[in-house]
Amino acid sequence: MSGRKPPRPKLTLADRARELQRLAALGSNRRRAAGITVALLDSARTTAGARQLLGQRQLPAEVRTAVLQLLYELATSTGDETL
């Protein structure tokens, strides 16, 4: 055994992003970012893939930054190795 953790399913990350969206204040960048993150993680296989898809979207800079931060938070909180 290599001692590495098995990869977490992306659904777990998308579900966590959905929960963060639900908890964020209405109209906040955090809420927008969480919703976008959900869509990216539903489409991509990894957080790296989600970041790549994000690069193909036109978003306000503050929302893009919030999405990247949220992807980082989700990845690091679960030990995702695809940063």
Is residue 2 one of the residues assigned to a domain? no
| Percent of all residues in the chain with a pLDDT value above 70, rounded to a whole number | 80
The residues, ordered by sequence, that sit 6+ positions from 30 with a Cβ below 8 Å of its Cβ are 20, 24, 66, 70
Q: Domain range for residue 44?
A: 10-78
> What average pLDDT does this structure show over 45-60?
92
Residue 1 belongs to some domain of the structure? no
* Number of domains, the chain: 1
Asked whether residue 5 is domain-assigned, the answer is no
Quote the longest CA-to-CA distance of the chain. 47
Helix and strand totals (H; E) in the chain: 4, 0
What share of the chain has pLDDT > 90, as a percent?
63
Here the tokens at position 72 are: 């980082």
Asked if residue 3 belongs to a domain, the reply is no
The one-letter amino acid code at 57 reads R
pLDDT of residue 3: 64
Confidence (pLDDT) at 32 = 96
- Look up residue 1 and give its DSSP letter: -
